[in-house]
């Protein structure tokens, strides 16, 4: 009775102390952002740092940009070298890992599958091995809609069959399967996030999309707008879609970053390990993307119609209902113009 009265009287103080304790724990613990110098990883690093988390970015800079690591601590290291991974866990109080480091060129994965399996699969096993050794049990994984292969129904939900059609997608699916096994055997808790087409740039213009070589549609279009390329090729105009060009679900990179933070919070509050699609749920054709970019940039972007690119499914549009319901994710950039505008604001300064 006395205890209950005490709790009632000091409820607010107790709750405030709990919040303070959480902040103190956050101060000491760090999030390891593997591949945090890359496109999506660097945007996550910015957003999660804004929320008060401390980060350690681990990247071998094979594709990443050191100048994108403007938040947290940077450690240059390679997932292929298990000692590099061990030393980062020994030096910093890591409480959770977000893993963005991967090769992402679908065509290249067909030509050189070993390169993809060694980096995207074997090196991920190295990372998981050290996590288990060091008893770090929260993992957010960058997966992809490429694990589904050719869709049999649109929109694609998480229950859609997974029949990847290239080594890139197969490697990502293998890791998803390992995660499931590791969860059961070692209680490693994970959220595997299946991205649709990541696009756009940090709205403050501090970081953006820069690949070498560049193969992605929006940066290529913006190169033409900026006068750095003569034209953009439209890969195929004879698909079974309203204007004959491929349809994709473009999702803003900052919205992707937000989903990672929500997934981490979900695991922190004991949420069950799971897979989540991250897309806008709207599809835009290649021609629509080019037309929108013309409106945003006020440039006459020259487009040349060419053959299909092998391995491109005609339509990829995801349902992200599960992420919205379970993670309470609400993408802010649900409009293609807004996505392209942020990309252009960054791109035109390069
Ligand atoms: N496209 C063109 N011309 C170009 C480049 C692309 O017409 O110069 C078309 C493609 O054929 C495709 C669409 O634009 O229909 C988007 O192509 P991107 O290369 O920008 O993106 P992808 O859909 O091929 O790739 C994305 C991710 C991959 C992921 C894949 C899953 O970048 O990491 O989705 O299918 F694996």
The pLDDT value given to residue 349:
85
Half-sphere exposure of 60 (CA within 13 A, CB side): 13
Q: Measured in angstroms, how far is the CA atom of residue 186 from the centroid of ligand 1?
A: 36
Measured from the CB, is residue 150 less than 6 Å from ligand 1?
no
Whether 168 sits among the annotated catalytic residues: the reply is: yes
Catalytic residue among 168, 190, 195, 250: 168
The pLDDT value given to residue 95:
97
Half-sphere exposure of 29 (CA within 13 A, CB side): 14
Measured from the CB, is residue 248 less than 6 Å from ligand 1?
yes
Measured from the CB, is residue 144 less than 6 Å from ligand 1?
yes
CB 58 within 8 A of CB 126: no
**Angle, CA of 343, 278 and 257, to the nearest 5°:** 55
Model's pTM, two decimal places?
A: 0.93
Q: Residue 26, class by beta-carbon neighbours within 10 Å (0-12 exposed, 13-18 middle, 19+ buried)? A: middle
The pLDDT value given to residue 25:
54
Ligand 1: atom nearest CA of 218 is 20
The pLDDT value given to residue 2:
57
What CATH number belongs to 2-347? 3.40.50.720
The pLDDT value given to residue 18:
65
The pLDDT value given to residue 19:
62
The pLDDT value given to residue 138:
98
CB 96 within 8 A of CB 56: no
Q: Measured in angstroms, how far is the CA atom of residue 216 from the centroid of ligand 1?
A: 6
Measured in whole angstroms, the distance separating CA 219 from the mean position of its chain's CA atoms is 17
Ligand 1: atom nearest CA of 247 is 15
The pLDDT value given to residue 267:
98
Measured from the CB, is residue 297 less than 6 Å from ligand 1?
no
Task: Indicate which residue's Cα is closest to atom 6 of ligand 1.
Answer: 217
Measured in whole angstroms, the distance separating CA 44 from the mean position of its chain's CA atoms is 8
Measured from the CB, is residue 234 less than 6 Å from ligand 1?
yes
Measure the CA–CA gap between 338 and 250, rounded to whole angstroms: 11
Per-residue pLDDT of the chain (350 residues; tens, 9 = 90+): 555 666 666 777 666 776 665 555 555 799 999 999 999 999 999 999 999 999 999 999 999 999 999 999 999 999 999 999 999 999 999 999 999 999 999 999 999 999 999 999 999 999 999 999 999 999 999 999 999 999 999 999 999 999 999 999 999 999 999 999 999 999 999 999 999 999 999 999 999 998 889 999 999 999 999 999 999 999 999 999 999 999 999 999 999 999 999 999 999 999 999 999 999 999 999 999 999 999 999 999 999 999 999 889 999 999 999 999 999 999 999 899 999 999 999 999 88
């Amino acid at each position: 009775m006395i205890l209950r009265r005490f709790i009632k009287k000091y409820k607010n103080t107790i709750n405030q102390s709990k919040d303070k304790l959480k902040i103190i724990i956050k101060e000491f613990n760090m999030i390891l952002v593997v591949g945090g110098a890359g496109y999506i990883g660097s945007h996550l690093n910015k957003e999660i740092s804004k929320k008060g988390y401390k980060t350690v970015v681990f990247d071998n800079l094979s594709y990443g940009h050191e100048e994108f690591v403007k938040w947290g601590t940077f450690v240059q290291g390679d997932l292929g070298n298990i000692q590099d991974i061990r030393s980062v866990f020994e030096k910093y109080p890591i409480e959770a890992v977000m893993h963005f480091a991967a090769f992402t060129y679908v065509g290249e994965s067909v030509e050189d599958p070993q390169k993809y399996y060694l980096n995207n699969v074997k090196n991920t096993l190295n990372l998981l091995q050290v996590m288990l050794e060091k008893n770090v049990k929260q993992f957010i994984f960058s997966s992809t809609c490429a694990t589904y292969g050719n869709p049999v129904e649109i929109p694609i939900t998480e229950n859609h069959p997974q029949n990847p059609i290239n080594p890139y997608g197969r490697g990502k699916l293998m890791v998803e399967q390992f995660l499931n096994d590791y969860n059961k055997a070692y209680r490693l808790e994970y959220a595997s996030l299946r991205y649709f087409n990541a696009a756009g740039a940090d709205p403050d213009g501090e970081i953006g999309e820069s690949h070498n070589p560049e193969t992605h549609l929006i940066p290529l279009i913006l190169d033409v707008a900026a006068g750095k390329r003569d034209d953009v090729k439209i890969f195929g105009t004879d698909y079974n879609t309203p204007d004959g060009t491929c349809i994709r679900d473009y999702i803003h990179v900052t919205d992707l970053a937000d989903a990672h933070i929500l997934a981490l919070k979900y695991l922190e509050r004991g949420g069950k390990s799971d897979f989540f699609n991250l897309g806008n749920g709207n599809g835009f054709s290649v021609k629509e993307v080019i037309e929108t970019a013309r409106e945003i940039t006020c440039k006459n972007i020259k487009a040349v119609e060419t053959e299909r690119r092998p391995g491109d499914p005609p339509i990829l549009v995801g349902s992200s209902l599960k992420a919205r319901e379970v993670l309470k994710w609400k993408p802010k950039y649900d409009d293609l113009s807004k996505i392209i505008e942020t990309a252009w604001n960054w791109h035109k300064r390069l």
